[in-house]
């Protein structure tokens, strides 16, 4: 008898009248908002303007969703194109199935387009949003909990995930790999924030650190999963992907730190121009204020006040003839 376990929701969708609210989609949406909100704060702190992150996310998010779905459908094509399956299900993104590798890859293309339109270097933008992406993944993984998918091997640990009987799944208690990855992503976000403050990471190195750290965790978490997947040389395809991407990210950090050390001084030319114009206005206003103070001081030192009246010896108004007999 299991004394403790994590229960799974009885349903992954709640209906508000005719409107279905799906837990999977809800988690993805919340994750995107968190990533944009936190990325905006970091972008402003680095010298950018408010709203830039959201403007570029308009390009990055749709590209990322398409890329994530494409990666999932391509690597798990048998779920949609084998005999007895309905290929139309490949478009039902709300039922789950987003590959982070495809989401980051195609999402980067969308971000590049958005950055290019605003004259912003993509590496600087990537550094700003890196921890937010990790937090978005941490939130998004709870969508798998709603769908009762992507769990690990059977276990009787107190934090085991209880799965109910359903299509392509057997009832039992399993390792909650969705929870492991969610917690790992939170740790990755904290690591990137700390390292960025400590070492002043720039030119895409904060983003590369996020990628490397995520891959390190995804490798062992992926190894625990029992859902159907393609294998290469005895390892799941996603494990190999994590290894390759990890090595690429570490290589980028090493090479980039040698070729372009330090951090970008200007991340958004538009923001820099606004700051310069503001500074010029403040200097001009300060100069006018000092000039006014200088004129007033000169009048005081000369012993006369502006528009003073010329007085005679006996203090009368000589100019107007008041002192004549």
Residue 322 has what pLDDT?
46
Residue 300 has what pLDDT?
59
> What Å distances lie between residue 192 and 104, 127, 202, 323, CA to CA?
17, 9, 12, 87
Q: Which of 109, 96, 11, 14 is nearest to 60 (CA)?
A: 109
Residue 282, Cβ density class (10 Å: 0-12 exposed, 13-18 middle, ≥19 buried): exposed
Residue 87 has what pLDDT?
84
- Under 8 Å between Cβ of 219 and 246: yes
Residue 216, Cβ density class (10 Å: 0-12 exposed, 13-18 middle, ≥19 buried): middle
CA distance 270 to 287: 26
- Count CB neighbours of 169 within 10 A: 15
| The two three-digit tokens of residue 279, written as one number | 């500074």
* Mean pLDDT of all residues in 157-180: 90
How confident is the model over 247-285, as pLDDT tens digits? 999 999 999 999 999 999 889 987 655 555 555 565 666
Q: State the pLDDT confidence band at 226, using cuts at 50, 70 and 90.
A: confident
Residue 285's H or E segment, with its range, is helix 269-301
| The two three-digit tokens of residue 100, written as one number | 């982070």
- Under 8 Å between Cβ of 135 and 38: yes
Q: Which of 30, 67, 35, 68 is nearest to 54 (CA)?
A: 35
How confident is the model over 7-30, as pLDDT tens digits? 998 777 877 777 777 888 889 999
CA distance 317 to 237: 104
How confident is the model over 128-159, as pLDDT tens digits? 999 999 999 999 999 999 989 889 999 999 99
In the Cβ-directed half-sphere of 312, how many Cα atoms lie within 13 Å? 10
CA distance 85 to 82: 6
Say yes or no to pLDDT of 192 above 50.
yes
- Under 8 Å between Cβ of 146 and 9: yes
Residue 294 has what pLDDT?
62
Residue 295, Cβ density class (10 Å: 0-12 exposed, 13-18 middle, ≥19 buried): exposed
Find residue 162's DSSP bridge partners.
173
How confident is the model over 36-83, as pLDDT tens digits? 999 999 999 999 999 999 999 999 999 999 999 999 888 888 888 888
DSSP class of residue 84? T
Residue 250 has what pLDDT?
98
CA distance 26 to 94: 10
Residue 169 has what pLDDT?
84
Residue 208 has what pLDDT?
98
CA distance 144 to 97: 9
Residue 96 has what pLDDT?
73
């Amino acid at each position: 008898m299991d004394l403790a376990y994590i229960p799974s929701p009885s349903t992954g969708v709640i209906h508000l009248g005719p409107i279905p609210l799906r837990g999977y989609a809800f988690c993805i949406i919340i994750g995107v908002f968190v990533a944009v909100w936190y990325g905006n704060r970091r972008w402003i702190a680095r010298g950018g303007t408010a709203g830039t992150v959201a403007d570029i996310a308009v390009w990055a998010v749709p590209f990322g969703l398409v890329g994530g779905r494409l990666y999932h459908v391509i690597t798990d094509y048998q779920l949609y194109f084998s005999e007895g399956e309905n290929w139309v299900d490949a478009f039902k993104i709300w039922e789950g199935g987003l590959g982070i590798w495809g989401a980051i890859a195609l999402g980067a293309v969308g971000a590049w387009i958005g950055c290019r339109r605003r004259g912003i270097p993509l590496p600087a933008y990537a550094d700003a949003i890196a921890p937010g992406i990790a937090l978005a993944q941490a939130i998004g993984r709870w969508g798998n909990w709603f769908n009762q998918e992507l769990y690990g091997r059977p276990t009787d640990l107190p934090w085991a995930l209880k799965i109910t009987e359903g299509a392509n799944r057997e009832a039992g208690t399993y390792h909650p790999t969705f929870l492991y990855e969610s917690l790992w992503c939170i740790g990755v976000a904290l690591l990137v924030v700390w390292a960025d403050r400590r070492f002043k990471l720039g030119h895409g190195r904060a983003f590369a650190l996020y990628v490397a750290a995520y891959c390190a965790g995804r490798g062992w978490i992926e190894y625990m999963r029992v859902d159907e997947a393609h294998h290469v040389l005895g390892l799941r395809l996603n494990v190999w992907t994590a290894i390759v991407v990890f090595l690429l990210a570490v290589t980028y950090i090493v090479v980039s730190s040698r070729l372009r050390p330090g951090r970008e001084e200007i991340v958004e030319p538009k923001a820099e121009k606004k700051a310069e114009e503001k500074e010029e206005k403040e200097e001009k206003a300060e100069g006018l204020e000092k000039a006014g103070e200088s004129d007033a001081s000169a009048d005081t030192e000369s012993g006369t006040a502006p528009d003073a009246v010329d007085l005679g010896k006996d203090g009368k108004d000589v100019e107007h003839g008041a002192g004549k007999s």
